[in-house]
Amino acid sequence: MTKTDVNKISDASGNSIMNPIEERDHVKKTSQFNLTALLWVIVTIAIIGGLITNISKIMDAVWLIKTENAKSITIPHLSVKLHNKGNESISLPLRGQCLLWPPEHSWDYECGYEFKQTDTTNINSDAISIPAKGERDFLIHVTKLAPIHQTKTSLARFFSTGEWHIQFIMFTDQNGRNIINTGRIPFTVEAMSKGYVFEVFRKPLRRKSLI
C-alpha cells in the first residue's frame, strides 16, 4: 500500500473523505490566511489614517520645496475699528476663532486670531472693551489655532494663493452670549491691508468698509 493509499479514507459507501490530519492542516492554513489578511487590512487603515492626519504637513513640505522664499511670506495685521452703538460697554475675548474658506468653499479650516494694539504691541489682558456709543481701533493678528486642519506654514500657503477667504467670529458678553460674524474677507495682501469697521452691538451688521 502506497503512502497515498494510507492517507486516503473512505466512508461506508466507498466515497473518499478528508483525513482528519489533512483537515486540521487545511483549517490551520485557512486561519493563517485570514490572520494575514486581517493584518494587511489593519496596516492599510493605519497608513490611510496617518496620511489623512498629516495631510497638511505633507502638503506644507511639498509647498516649501516648490516655493522660493516661502518662509518670508507674512500675513499682514488686519486693521479694524470696533464700533459699539449701544448704551452699554461691550467686552470681547482677546483671542478668538476664525475660519479659512478655500476657493470652492466646500470645507472650512480653523484658525485663530488675537487682538493687538495699533502699534502691533501685545495687550496685557484677557479681554478688550468698547465703551457705549464709542469705538476703538485694533489690529488683528492671524495665527494657527490647532494643528488639526492647518499649521503655521499652511496659513502662508493658503495666503500665497490669493484665492482663499477668512472669516472672524467674536463673542460678546452682552445678554449672555452674542456672536458677531464678520462675513468672509478675501485672504489676500490687498484685502488684509485695508481697514474694516465691525459693529459689536446686538445683531451685528455684516458691514465691511474702508476706514
Percent of the chain exceeding pLDDT 70 equals 57
For the entire predicted model, the pTM comes to 0.65
Q: Comparing C-alpha atoms, which of 176, 158, 175 is closest to residue 167?
A: 158
pLDDT at 69 over 90: no
Average pLDDT over every residue of 96-102? 90
| Cell numbers representing residue 78 in the block | 488686519
CA distance 118 to 172: 21
What's the chain's average pLDDT? 75
CA distance 46 to 136: 50
Contact 11, 19 (CB under 8 A): no
pLDDT band at residue 81 using 50, 70 and 90 as cut-offs = very high
Q: What is the DSSP letter of 151?
A: -
pLDDT tens track for 185-209: 999 999 998 899 998 875 544 555 4
Residue corresponding to grid cell 494694539: 117
Choose from 16-25, 127-136, 143-152, 193-202 the range with maximum mean pLDDT: 127-136
Q: Cα dihedral sign for 118, 124, 128, 129? A: negative
Query: What is the pLDDT, as a whole number, of residue 203?
Result: 53
